Amino acid sequence: MLQNIKNNTRETSQLKKDGPYYKPIAKEVETFEHSYLQKLPFLLKGPTGTGKSRFIEYMAHRLDQKLITVSCHEETSSTDLIGRYIIKGAETVWLDGPLTTAVKTGAILYLDEIAEARPDVIVAIHSLTDHRRELFIDKLGETVRAHPDFMLVASFNPGYQRGFKELKPSTRQRFVAVSFHYPEARSEAVILVNETGISEGDAKKLVNIANKIRNLTELGLAETVSTRLLVDAAKLIGSGLSKRLAVHVAVVEPLTDDVEVITALNDLCDLMI
């Protein structure tokens, strides 16, 4: 089986050219491949914009698996995932939700920001996250065994600040979990160059700015500069916007609405780029 994965990996490395770009940061690719092999549910933990979604897109492509993504929010319910009856003409017909489709067809289901979803979502996935690997569809009174290729992946922002939802230990312990952080400076600059074609010099400056702001913990920002914000700034620079303005609008403004903090950060960034 492992050989299959290895072969698969080799085959898909050619495909990688037209697949999503992802720069591995630690051992997450290897860890995911083995978890996929064992069909263990997988949890990506980390702040927003640290490459979690990109990673799962990359892995699905690498393993040649279909990926179904659900962006969870506070209204996301088990019905949204499992399915519902809809009225079609004079009839009511059953429509599978994304979870049921993934379970039946053997796709990777990615529940982005799972902690945001309503509690019944966690209940619905329970029997899929242990040895049973089955989904109970209460509205149909049916139990569906998961396709051998089905895998459940979720992301979660641990948010060490107030305002973030927690994930219960009993739920967390159903997953193999990997932490995503901001990459170290050299890797982050490589990501910016690859993603946007920006010069290495500018990429390094953007990364320096990010690390400077990340270290300003006294600002009490709910979330600090993510790789995503740097990618956005780099894209604007590549598109011809002045470097300072690009940093102001793509890095500083999204972080806070506090006018004093914005002014201070803009001044700091102007000195650095």
Q: Does 212 bind ligand ADP (CB under 6 A)?
A: no
* Nearest approach, Cβ of residue 231 and ligand ADP (Å): 4
Residue 6 main-chain phi, psi, to 5 deg = -60, -45
Q: Does 126 bind ligand ADP (CB under 6 A)?
A: no
Question: Which of 2-10, 33-41, 130-138, 226-234 is the region at the interface with ligand ADP (rule: CB under 6 A)?
Answer: 226-234
70, 113 in Cβ contact below 8 A? no
Q: Does 191 bind ligand ADP (CB under 6 A)?
A: yes
Q: Does 21 bind ligand ADP (CB under 6 A)?
A: yes
Helix (H) or strand (E) holding 85: strand 83-88
Q: Does 62 bind ligand ADP (CB under 6 A)?
A: no
Q: Does 228 bind ligand ADP (CB under 6 A)?
A: yes
Q: Which of 41, 42, 45, 49 binds ligand ADP (CB under 6 A)?
A: 49
Separation between Cα atoms, residue 234 and residue 12, nearest integer Å: 29
In the chain, the amino acid numbered 262 is I
Q: Which of 41, 195, 198, 251 binds ligand ADP (CB under 6 A)?
A: 195
Window 231-250: contact mask with ligand ADP (x via CB under 6 A)? x-------------------
Q: Does 54 bind ligand ADP (CB under 6 A)?
A: yes
The H-assigned helical ranges of the chain are: 2-15, 28-38, 52-62, 78-82, 98-105, 119-125, 169-172, 185-196, 200-215, 227-239, 243-247, 259-272
Q: Which of 41, 51, 97, 98 binds ligand ADP (CB under 6 A)?
A: 51
* Length of the chain (residues): 273
Window 86-105: contact mask with ligand ADP (x via CB under 6 A)? --------------------
Taking the C-alpha atoms of 73, 78, 81 and 84 in order, what is their torsion angle to the nearest 10 degrees? -120
Q: Does 50 bind ligand ADP (CB under 6 A)?
A: yes
In angstroms, the Cα distances linking 86 to 120, 249, 272 are: 21, 44, 56
Identify the three-state secondary structure at position 12: helix
In angstroms, the Cα distances linking 229 to 147, 174, 177 are: 38, 32, 25
Our CB check for ligand ADP shows the closer of 231 and 252 to be 231
21, 55 in Cβ contact below 8 A? no
* Nearest approach, Cβ of residue 62 and ligand ADP (Å): 13
Region for 265 from its dihedrals, namely left if φ exceeds 0, alpha if ψ lies in -120 to 50, beta otherwise: alpha
Q: Does 78 bind ligand ADP (CB under 6 A)?
A: no
Q: Does 25 bind ligand ADP (CB under 6 A)?
A: yes
Q: Does 156 bind ligand ADP (CB under 6 A)?
A: no
Q: Which of 227, 233, 243, 255 binds ligand ADP (CB under 6 A)?
A: 227
Q: Which of 53, 76, 78, 224 binds ligand ADP (CB under 6 A)?
A: 53
Closest CA to 208 of 273, 138, 124, 129: 273
- Chain residues that interact with ligand ADP, rule: CB under 6 A: 21-23, 25, 48-54, 191, 195, 227-228, 231
